Amino acid sequence: MSKEVHHHRWGSRFMDSLKNIVFGVVVFVVGIGLLSWNEHRAVQKYQELHDVRDNVLSVSTDTISPVHEGKPVYVSGETATESVLKDPLFNVEAQAIRLRRKVEMYQWQEQKTTAAPEQSDGASQDPSGVSYRKVWSERLIDSSAFKESGHENPTVMHPEGWSDVADKVTLGSFTLSQEAISRLTTFQPYPVFRATLPEGARLEDSVILIGSEGGVADIGDKRISFEIVPQGPVSVIAAQKGSVLAPWRRSRGTKYLLIQQGTYSAEEMLGQAKSNVSFLTWIFRAVGGFLMAFGVTTVLNPLSVMKDVVPFFGYLLGRGVRIFSVLSSAVVALSVIGIAWVATRPFFGLTALAGAVGFLVWIGFRAHKNKLARKETKVAKA
């Protein structure tokens, strides 16, 4: 009788956990997919940097040599433009690579709180643990879903943000392609001393203010400032196409362009690019590994109830479902990484594969150890 009850409990637990098994499998597959995509992307980026480092030529900005046509070149110098960018609404002008109008509106912002915060100007809190404060924001904050009434924000922001870019930017004898120009995005504040102001607007300390006066802002007030990407030092690694610095088309078909504001050597630029690729690669590896381990854990938690029915699970899992999940995920992750890199970086790829084998051996050893422990327990009980 007791055996039938036990079987009923096991069957009920297993059926109740079936949806977790399916969910775990999906998460595990997503983790593998993310890891595979990430390694493929990282290998491509590594090959790009390797090709650029092997082929890039350092050239002067003074002259353009036909010998370098179509080849990747490194150029560093002062950018210049004759374009005068003009804001169509306020008539603010700047001779710069880019000009941007930054519009902020004073609005309510809802925040969840765990304890009553110290009250500041304009802040309030309701008993449900939600507080409200006034902030300057470039985006409209939707107040329709706020839990507490009395904190309504405007539904329209006018004027809106705006930007413009120079048609032509030169670097000595060279001209930057539009793609190169589009990557110059380090803005700096642009002081405004004169502007065409609409009714109700005023200019104070290079900022155009629309709304309340007297130094105290109110909901719906706007402040408008301007920023530019100035002419100045720029370092570029790109293909020389006539007098234009444009993306370099590699033999593998992909394009490469690297541009930074400031004066940097080619090695410094490539080194920073490599660091950026490595950082992003390890972030995705961590996320992919976590998803895989979580997926395996989600699958094995309900399956672990089978250890009394199917001894294999008992031998393999014992009491270490999480440990097994991490180890098994590490085996798959290292295998994916090793296979992706073995042709491009043999030492790194083979090391990853060796790590996968090592973890696999450890899993086998753990399963064997658990099996022996169970046998010893049975003998002792007998």
pLDDT digits 0-9 by tens, 324-362? 777 778 888 888 888 888 877 888 888 888 888 887 787
Confirm whether 245 is domain-assigned.
no
d(CA 294, CA 325): 7
Closest CA to 291 of 20, 18, 36, 30: 30
Question: Phi and psi dihedrals of 136, rounded to 5?
Answer: -90, 130
| CB contact at 8 A, 212 and 218 | yes
Please list, residue by residue across 65-95, b when 16 or more beta carbons sit within 10 angstroms of its beta carbon and e when fewer do: eeeeeeebbbbbbebebebebebebbebebe
Same domain, 223 and 114: yes
Nearest C-alpha neighbor of 117 from the set 104, 126, 108: 126
174 and 245 in contact (C-beta within 8 Å)?
Answer: yes
Same domain, 213 and 317: no
Q: How far apart are CA 91 and CA 87, in angstroms?
A: 5
- Quote the domain boundaries for residue 224: 82-230
- Which pairing describes strands 222-229 and 98-112: parallel, antiparallel, or unpaired? antiparallel
Does residue 61 belong to any structural domain of this protein?
A: no
According to the model, what pLDDT value does residue 304 have? 57
Q: What is the largest CA-CA distance in the chain?
A: 97
329 and 211 in one domain?
Answer: no
Q: Is the pLDDT of residue 233 over 90?
A: yes
Asked whether residue 58 is domain-assigned, the answer is: no
Domain presence at residue 197: yes
Q: Are residues 153 and 279 in the same domain?
A: no
116, amino acid identity: A
Return d(Cα 111, Cα 72) in angstroms, integer: 51
Rounded-to-integer distance, Cα 260 and Cα 280, Å: 19
Does the residue 355 lie in any domain? yes
Q: Is residue 170 part of a domain?
A: yes
Helix axes 321-341, 346-381, angle to 10 degrees: 160
CA–CA gap between residue 190 and residue 90 (Å, rounded): 14
What is the three-state SS of 38-76?
HHHHHHHHHHHHHHHHHHCEECCCCCCCHHHCCCEEEEE
- Inter-residue contact 103 to 222 (CB < 8 Å): yes
Same domain, residue pair 35 and 101: no
Structural domain count, the chain: 2
Confidence of residue 306 (pLDDT cuts 50, 70, 90): low
Residue 343 lies in a domain: yes
Radius of gyration (C-alpha) of the chain in whole angstroms: 31
Asked if residue 88 and residue 41 are part of one domain, the reply reads no
Q: 17-41 pLDDT, tens per residue? A: 677 788 888 999 999 999 999 999 9
pLDDT (tens digit per residue) in 107-143: 999 998 765 444 545 454 445 578 999 999 999 999 9
Q: Is residue 333 part of a domain?
A: yes
Asked if residue 364 and residue 309 are part of one domain, the reply reads: yes
What pLDDT was estimated at residue 5?
44
Q: Are residues 226 and 154 in the same domain?
A: yes
pTM: 0.75
Looking at the structure, do residues 135 and 215 belong to the same domain, yes or no? yes
Q: What DSSP letter does each residue of 165-178 carry, written as one string?
A: E-S--EETTEEE-H
Residue indicated by tokens 């304009």: 122
SS3 of 292, please? helix
- Contact predicate 220/106, CB 8 Å: yes
Q: Are residues 86 and 216 in the same domain?
A: yes
Residues 224 and 90 placed together within one structural domain of the fold: yes
